[in-house]
Structure 1
Amino acid sequence: MAASSNAEQTQLQDMEEEDAGMEERNIESGDEPEEGMGEENSDEEEEDSSEDEKENEAEIQRLEEQLSINAFDYNCHVDLIKLLKQEGELSRLRKARQKMSELFPLTEEIWLDWLKDEIRMTEEEPNREKVYELFEKATKDYICPDIWLEYAQYSIGGMGSPGGLDKVRAIFERAVTAVGLHMTKGQMVWEAYREFENVILSTVQPPPGKIPSTKEQDMLKTQLDRIHTLFRRQLAIPLMDMEATYAEYEEWSEHGVAETVIQQYKKALQQLAKCKPLEESLIVAEPPKLAEYQSYIDFELKEGDPARIQIIFERTLAENCLVPDMWAKYTTYLDRQLKIKDLVLSSHERAVRNCPWTMGLWKSYLLALERHGADHHTISGFIQATDYVEIWQAHLDYLRRRVDFSKESSKELEELRGAFSRSLDYMKQDVEERFGESGDPSCIIMQIWARIEALHCKNIQKARELWDSIMTKGNAKYANMWLEYYNLERSYGDTVHCRKALHRAVQCTSDYPEHVSEVLLTFERVEGSLEDWDVAVQKTETRLNRINEQRAKVAEKEANLARQEEEKTDQRRRTKVDKKAQRKVQKGSRIGEKRKAEQDDYQEEWNDKFEQAPKKHRGNGDQTTEEYMETETGLFGRNARPGYKPPPPGSKRAQQGAAAEQRSDDKQELRNDNSSVFISNLAYTLKDPEAKLRAQFETCGPIKQVRPVFGNKGTFKGYGYVQFESPVSVPEALKLDRREVEGRPMFVSPCVDKNKNPDFKKQKIFISGLPFTCTKEQLEEICKSHGTVKDIRLVTYRSGKPKGLAYVEFADEAQASQAVLKMDGMNIEDNKICVAISNPPRRNMMDKPGSNRPADMMPRQVFGSRGRGRTQLSLLPRSLHRQSGPGSKVENGRAAEQVPATASAVVNAAGEMKPLSNSDFARMLLSK
């Protein structure tokens, strides 16, 4: 160490002398700066820096003001911390980081920056405990090897304090326990631990030639045993590059490697060989690597090592901290398998800190707190009103289980009643104000409270008061609510109140009055006297007669409205037909004059052109004008319709035709499916969707065009198309599927024209009737026994809730057909599913003029025994009907006239097709 410090001092002296010599040479050569130049540059730099400081300070104040309004703006916290670090505002930076850490778990990068700043700031302060506390908070957010390594290295600096050596070893032990199994980064923690112990070893070794005392020998032996133990522990764990560690141990150990260590090392190598493909798949995968991590988790679950399962879950969540399903799987595993209080509760707490909007995580957290006897915490941040009802129910269940109902009154019972009151106030004030709707329209919480009061507290009067309140909240018109109240009275009340409840039900119910009337009559048959029976019969008959009259009036009113609407429709149809006939008559009178004038103009213009054209373009001198036009334009003959007269070049009609061709080419170019993707599930309220989509996909490759789809009123319809310059960009774009865009997952799929690809994805099946709790992984597990599953898509509402529908794509059509046969009618969680080949209707097939439905195409509707409906009669004259062939048809015992093969052409004597003229059509129509 002394030699290295002397060398550094000599090097510094040489550098100083060299700098001094350079200054002298500059002065001798006259390379001195001109007067005033340095001052002007410094003034300009000071002005620029002062302006930047003002702009940064204004931005800092804006961010702080925004956070005072919405403290849960994550990106605002990050921007504020970056600006304060740039400005060097250390005290304000510390406060900003503390505020953010109270609301959110911090990333590894933010924690390391904060820790390094605090370490520099405390170098001048004697108090190191603040940094230790900060390290403890950092290690609780995520399991990060870099943070643990930084913690251990920082603790070495306090080794000289009392108990410092034991503290360093304790931190290193916690580090290898937490991240020592990390296959790619755990090795650096083990090596740092061994390096530290080797330094300690050098301090206890006696100088050469000195005979150590007994105490020194014991200390030396103990230290050597520590290093041996660290080597053995590390070699028993499968870690990357563990062969180098084994070679180092062989070289370090004087007596060789023990046989037991070799066996453990070989066993770890075998485990490493199993895990290596999974680790390599993680290395090459793109973030967030969720599928690769899920495969790794499944592998470790089969292996069954709890420590390794825990570390792979932690690695997954470090990169996918905003995936509630992954947190749910992790916490469920800890609840059912490990059941260690500190580990379970800390994981649940981290889950709700990362995903506070997920009601299921909060419910699991409450159950875990109750299971381990811990206090409950404040809960908020849900996105639906019904979520608050469920979380309140979970909390009330917890409080109810704490009450000893054998006592007439207790502190726990009062807490339960107070919680019920607070929940009702909260649902009425906060939830309704925030969501504009009641989170508990059926008053489930009040029903539970009433039943608890009646069953456990024997307080039926309180239960009746609660039910009166339930009925005043708009539930009196529902029969099921009255019957629920009647069952409560039947179980815990008396006959008088049962009869009273049923009489009120008959008077108030509007959805199923017959049902409550029947219940009342049944009750009186069992419990009532003759007078009670007569009163019940009279009340029910009167009520049902009134209800039937009201229903008849409503039915008559609806029939009148329907009749009026039908008359209006008929009137509009007749008016439309009359106007169309009138326009046709007027148009027919003008067409003859206009057509003749146009033909004369066209003929005159082309005659002039023919005369002016060079003879070499006209061929021989006998070429006619019509032959010249056919040669020059290619529009006559088989390429043109009968009677077509081409417009002269440069005319308005020719320009319109060219523009239409250009638009057609542009549209065809836009529908280049090989270089396009289809984007859906975007928010209707998305501002400037074209710019948003361009920003999302510009990293995939050069974009040729972005086309969001808008409705008739100019509103965005939530989907669109992105066309790239090259098809190479499409796979990169498909990787952005399910990326979140303004709070919604964006769906990205290949752009395929199903009209041009009638067999597109015949290997895809459609499943309906799935339970709402069915996940993508469960469905894949069911389907993969029938073939190779390429893709699964669960259909959800825009809010993200499942519809019970799914599409599953197999590798080929045979596998899909096999899956339909085996899975149709299968029961999944008591739900009977329906499975069929996915075959949506082709778009725009029947809307195009002249398009004919293929004869072999399965119709989507099934016709009855009488064939097509009356609205599908053919209105084409019989003389123009198509025939299946040129042969004659025998009808009523005689040969019918042979009709043309098509409605627009006839066959001449030479057997060639000849176009029909208007006079031909007229003769055919009048011939019958």
Structure 2
Amino acid sequence: MAEEARMEEETHEKSVLSPILESMEVEAPADSSHGEDSESDSDSDSDSEANDKLQVQTLESELYSNPSNYDAHVQYIKLLRRMGDIQKIRTAREAMSSLFPLTPATWQEWAQDEAFLNSGPDTFPSIEKLYERGISEYLYVPLWCDYINFVQEHDPSICECSPAGISKARTLFERAVTAAGLHVAEGNKIWEAYREFEQAILLTIDESDTEAREKQLQRIRSLFHRQLSIPLVDSESSLLAYKTWEVEQGKAFDIESNDLDKTFPHVSSAHKKAFDMFNARAQFEEQISQQNLSDAERLQHYLVYLKFEQSMQDPSRVNILYERAVTDFPVSADLWLDYTSYLNKTLKVGNVVKDVHLRATRNCTWVGELWVRYLLCLERCRSSETDISAVFEKSLQCTFSSLDEYLDLYLTRIDGLRRRVSSAGETKDPLDHLSIRDIFQRASDYLSPHLKNTQTLLHLYAYWARLEATLGKDLVACRRAWESLLKTCGSMLEAWQGYIAMEIEFGNISEARSIYKRCYTKRFPGMGSEEICYCWLRFEREFGKLEDFDYAVQKVTPRLEELKLFASQQEARIIDPNESNVKKNREKKRSSTDATHDESPAKRKKEAILPIRSHGKKKSQPENAIESVETQDVNAKAEESDKIHEQGKKDAHLDKSKVFTDQLTAFVSNIDLKATNNHLSEFFSDTGGVKAIRILHDKFTGKSRGLAYIDFVDEEHLSAAIAKNKRMLLGKKLSIARSNPKKNRKDSSGHGSGEQNSEAGKSFTGDAVDNRGEQSGVSHTSRPAAGKRGSENVVLKGKNTFAMPRSVRPLGFTASKPEATAGEEEKPKSNDEFRQMLLKK
């Protein structure tokens, strides 16, 4: 083992020494045979050096502007180490370690560099501190081995085998065994190093000192026994080494046999138990040691392994496995949360738990729950107020994903101060109460703009006011907190009720009455306005005089009548049978002329002048003259109608090619008819996320119908918009709900919901063909061929019915029309026969 350590040291010496010697500009001896090669090498080295300097300047600029760039720190240190800039690399490593926990390999490299460059006794304490800092970050057995070897080689007291030095070494070995002795895969390295040290101490004891030698032999034997009782890799080799050692000490038994059962039965039984434990864990160790797995798969194997160890109910083994897991996955927030939760439930050693919480927050600074647990851990460990305050301030400098995490941090800090003040009794420090007020104020300043009109903000202020009244004995400050809340959440009924309830609780009846007088005329969502009026009446019945009750009735009665009238008007506007009947009558009247209104002038003109063609004959001149006059009248009326409704059609027109799915859409009704897109955009400006606004217009008049669809970018903004239901806009209370399109809406429609489709459809009461023709842009009077019609369920029969409208029955039609005999074809009538039939009629 000593030989391996020496070879590693020589390799490391070459890796570190080469850039350092290069930076010292040592002149090489002149050699004429290699002059040209030396010049080329010199040019190449100068180019490489210039490139390295340029990269260093770039990285320094990057780190100055963004110190949190972890990868830039790593590249900067790597480049400085290659250049051999000792002073800069020390500064860079210190800067990085103050911001991030360094990896075990980085600590190992740093300590080895410093140990090589400064091997004197004066520098030993600083290097020892480096190792101590490294082993405190993660569980890394190679770093522990390096630390142990460094101390044995460079500590003067240990090298001299003085009692103090031996005691110091044993203390360090016991720390290493406690930290990594249960490591199934690498723990045996610590045990072997410990035994080798004790065996070296045995060689320093004089042969004549029998008592000291026997005591040292027993210490070595005890180490063997401790190691054999732990499930470790290659435990059979350890057993063989133990038997060999016992034989060397004069024990007479066969190494290959099981004589150990007779000589040391307790050791044999402990080793068998440890061997069985190792076999139970062998499959888990194999799974987490596979290198070809992804990080997610390896982490999952760790979690399965942890569940198994927890089922064994051995906290020390669970703790070791957690340390191994966080070493391999240091930025897994779920792993740290699981680890800290387990320690808080099982392990009661304050320093160990506190250290784990500290490392958790250093590795996952963005997880608010870890900071909360750290603050609670410090409080359980009876840490000083200075330490707790420092951790709290540091946590607020981090960036969290939600406001709830910030709120939880503020409340945790306030809770701790409250408990501190409550437990202090009469000797409480007034500064603690001022600290509580300061944190409440900071929480309010940060959270109020984001949590306006929410129960969360209400609970925060209610907590603040209560502590001001109970701990601070300051009703003025208590009322100040409530008034501050009302400035932000004055439209919340619960805020006023909480204020009133607090005044009643403290017996301030007149102050509660004054609050009722301030708020009974306010408009609250839903039935809140009526509720506050009835609450005032109930309050006066329970606490007031007759004069107070009469005054409340005098004020509340007209207010309730006003609210009742307003509610009835709103209901009438939403559902009015008379208005519905009038609307239906208008639609029936309109259905007879809607085809003419919707058709383009060119089509109406074409239909009006289109002659009824007969087979092989033209119309007479009088008939053509009559039709010409009628055509002019129809065209004039059509042009006049187009001018009247042209502007309304432009406003109400929607892109027929665009289909609205209404997946993230709010349906808004009861809108003032004068409201525009700008009004609605301003109304929803506080919620944000508005993607599109579609106000519905009447297709004939072009006027607003008081309905609109608001499209949002995501579910969160849509929910915030729906929460504004019953708010006022231009003097009218809006009704806001999530759009719920009908399942059977027509895909060809460009409208955004089934309700809108149904509203549009009410304008037409003709047959289904007319409605479809309008929606698809087909004229009502222009009849296409059967193969191109909008309806697929129309069946045309016979030879002369290709141009016959469905709603017109054939002339001479009777219900009991005789069927054609078999084999007989229907003979078409000539024009003369057709005229004769008309004359008879």
User: Normalised by the shorter chain, which TM-score bucket?
Assistant: 0.5 to 0.7
Q: CA deviation at 1:270?
A: 0.8
Alpha carbons of structure 1 residues 877 and 155: separation in structure 2 relative to 1, 3 Å: closer
State the secondary structure of the residue aligned to 1:442. helix
Q: CA deviation at 1:290?
A: 1.8
Counterpart among 353, 356, 361 of residue 365 in structure 2: 356
Q: Could you say which residue in structure 2 is the equivalent of 1:465?
A: 480
The 5 Å alignment of 1:228-239 reads 228-239=221-232
Q: Alpha carbons of 1:246 and 1:847: their partners in 2 closer, same or farther (altered >3 Å)?
A: farther
Residues 125-171 of structure 1: CA deviation (Å, up to 9, x unaligned): 63211111111111111111111111111111122255322222221
Matches within 5 A, 1:126-205: 126-157=122-153, 158=155, 159-160=158-159, 163-204=164-205
Residues 588-641 of structure 1: per-residue CA shift (max 9 Å, x gap) = x9xxxxxxxxxxxxxxxxxxxxxxxxxxxxxxxxxxxxxxxxxxxxxxxxxxxx
Structure 1 residue 370: Cα displacement: 1.2
Give the drift of 1:503: 1.9
- The letter of the residue matching 1:102 is S
Q: 1:286 is matched with which residue?
A: 294
Residue equivalent to 1:644: none
Indicate conservation of the 8 Å contact 2:410/2:443, yes or no. no
Partners of 1:50 and 1:132 lie apart in 2 by 33
Aligned position for 2:516: 502
2:546 aligned with 1:530, yes or no? yes
Which of the numbers 74, 78, 83 marks the counterpart of 2:74?
Answer: 78
Give 1:39 deviation, angstroms: 5.3
Kept after mapping to 2: 8 A contact 1:460/1:493: no
The alpha-carbon distance between structure 1 residues 269 and 33, as it changes in their structure 2 partners (threshold 3 A), is same
For 2:61, the aligned partner's letter is: R
**Conserved? CA contact 2:326–2:336, under 8 Å:** yes
Shift of 1:228: 1.3
Q: What is the aligned partner in structure 1 of residue 795 from structure 2?
A: 879
- Name the residue aligned to 1:102: 98
Question: Displacement of 1:371 after TM fit?
Answer: 1.3
Task: Please state whether the residue corresponding to 2:502 is helix, strand or coil.
Answer: helix
Q: What is the alpha-carbon distance in structure 1 between the residues aligned to residue 109 and residue 238 of structure 2?
A: 31
Contact 2:465 2:478 in 1 (8 A): yes
Aligned to 2:274: 268
Instruction: Give, in whole Å, the separation in 1 of the partners of 2:481 and 2:120.
Output: 66
Distance 2:324 2:597 in 1: 70
Matched, 1:308 2:323: no
Secondary structure at 2:231 match in 1: coil
Matches of 2:605 and 2:199 in 1, distance apart? 104
Shift of 1:108: 1.3
Change in CA separation of 1:411 and 1:72 when aligned onto 2, cut-off 3 Å? farther
1:115 aligns with 2:111: yes
**Residue 245 (1) aligns with residue 229 (2):** no
Report the AA paired with residue 187 of structure 1. N
Distance 1:90 1:335 in 2: 43
Match of 1:680 in 2: none
Q: Is the 8 A contact 1:105 1:141 kept in 2?
A: yes
Q: How is 1:367-446 mapped onto 2 (pairs within 5 angstroms)?
A: 367-375=376-384, 376=388, 377=391, 378=393, 379-380=395-396, 381-383=398-400, 384-404=402-422, 411-425=428-442, 427-428=444-445, 442-446=457-461
Alpha-carbon distance between aligned partners in 1 of 2:224 and 2:476, rounded to the nearest angstrom? 74
**Structure-2 change in CA distance of 1:367 and 1:877 (3 Å):** closer
Q: How many Å separate the matches in 1 of 2:288 and 2:421?
A: 51
| Amino-acid identity (%) | 29
What is the distance in 1 between the residues matched to 2:177 and 2:80?
Answer: 35
CA distance in 2, matches of 1:123, 1:301: 45
Alpha-carbon contact 1:386-1:440 (below 8 Å) kept: no
What's the counterpart of residue 490 of structure 1? 504
| Alpha-carbon separation, structure 2, partners of 1:135 and 1:543 | 77
1:92 aligns with 2:83: no
Rounded Cα–Cα distance in structure 2 between residues aligned with 1:103 and 1:896: 100
Q: How does 1:205-244 map to 2 (within 5 A)?
A: 212-213=207-208, 215=209, 217-244=210-237
Secondary structure of the corresponding residue to residue 123 of structure 2: coil
- Partner Cα distance (1:49, 1:103) in 2: 31
For residues 107 and 183 of structure 2, what CA distance do their matches in structure 1 show? 20
Counterpart residue number, 1:539? 555
User: Secondary structure of 1:155's partner?
Assistant: helix
Contact 1:235 1:268 in 2 (8 A): yes
- 1:542 to partner: Cα distance: 3.3
Q: Kindly state the Cα deviation for residue 517 of structure 1 after the two structures are TM-superposed.
A: 0.7
RMSD, matched Cα: 4.6
The answer as to whether partners of 1:81 and 1:93 remain within 8 angstroms in 2 is yes
**1:389–1:439 Cα contact (<8 Å) kept:** no
Could you tell me which of 468, 479, 484 is aligned with 2:493? Answer: 479
Partner of 1:516: 532
1:423 shift after superposition: 3.7
Give a deviation string over 1:660-681, Cα, whole Å, max 9, x none.
xxxxxxxxxxxxxxxxxxxxxx
Letter in 2 for 1:292: H
Deviations 1:704-743 (A, max 9, x none): xxxxxxxxx9xxxxxxxxxxxxxxxxxxxxxxxxxxxxxx
Distance 1:847 1:536, change over 3 A: closer
Q: Deviations over 1:59-105 (max 9, x none)?
A: 232233224xxx33322322222222222222221122122222222
Q: Deviations over 1:412-444 (max 9, x none)?
A: 34312333224413542x6689x8989997253
Aligned residues of 1:313 and 1:330 also touching (Cα < 8 A): yes
| Aligned counterpart, 2:57 | 58
Shift of 1:261: 0.8
Task: Using the TM superposition, give the Cα deviation of residue 460 of structure 1 relative to its aligned residue in structure 2, in angstroms.
Answer: 2.9
Is contact 1:385-1:437 (8 Å) kept? no
Cα 1:165/1:896, change in 2 over 3 Å: farther
Residue 292 of structure 1 deviates from its aligned partner by 0.8
User: How big is the shift at 1:203?
Assistant: 3.6
Structure-1 separation of matches of 2:81 and 2:601 = 76
Structure number having the greater strand percentage: 1
- Alpha-carbon distance in structure 2 between the residues aligned to 1:438 and 1:468: 14
Identify if the C-alpha distance between structure 1 residues 180 and 579 changes in structure 2 by more than 3 Å, giving closer, same or farther. farther
1:364 is matched by which residue type in structure 2?
R
Give the distance between the partners of 2:766 and 2:351, measured in 1 at CA. Answer: 74
Distance 1:424 1:878, change over 3 A: same
Offset of residue 265 of structure 1: 0.5
SS in 2 for 1:879: coil
Q: Using the alignment, how far apart are the partners of 1:583 and 1:283 within structure 2?
A: 84
Contact 1:112 1:147 in 2 (8 A): yes
More moved, 317-326 vs 451-460: 451-460
CA distance change for structure 1 residues 476 and 133 in 2, over 3 Å: closer, same or farther?
same
Query: Does the aligned pair in 1 maintain the 2:452–2:489 contact within 8 Å?
Result: no
Any idea what the Cα deviations from partners look like across 1:1-54, whole Å, max 9, x if unmatched? Answer: 9x99xxxxxxxxxxxxxxxxxxxxxxxxxxx96686245424422431342233
| 1:298 to partner: Cα distance | 0.8
Matches within 5 A, 1:802-821: none
Unaligned runs of 5+ in 2: 5-30, 254-259, 611-690, 692-713, 718-742, 749-764, 770-790, 798-813, 824-841
Counterpart CA distance in 1 for 2:299 and 2:606 is: 70
1:340 paired residue number = 349
Inter-partner Cα distance in structure 1 for 2:216 and 2:502: 75
Q: Are the aligned partners of 1:431 and 1:438 in contact in 2 as well (CA < 8 Å)?
A: no
Of 338, 351, 368 in structure 2, the residue corresponding to residue 329 of structure 1 is 338
Structure 1 stretch displaced more, 870-879 or 160-169: 870-879
Does residue 1:319 correspond to 2:328, yes or no? yes
Give, as a single letter, the amino acid of the residue that structure 1 aligns with 2:315. Answer: P
Q: Which amino acid aligns with 1:490?
A: I
| Partners of 1:278 and 1:292 within 8 A in 2 | yes
Instruction: Report the alpha carbon displacement of residue 225 of structure 1 after superposing the two structures with TM.
Output: 1.7
Query: CA 1:42/1:535 → structure 2, altered by over 3 Å: closer, same or farther?
Result: same
Match of 1:47 in 2: 46
TM-score, with length taken from structure 2 = 0.61
Native 8 Å contact 2:182 2:230 kept in 1:
yes
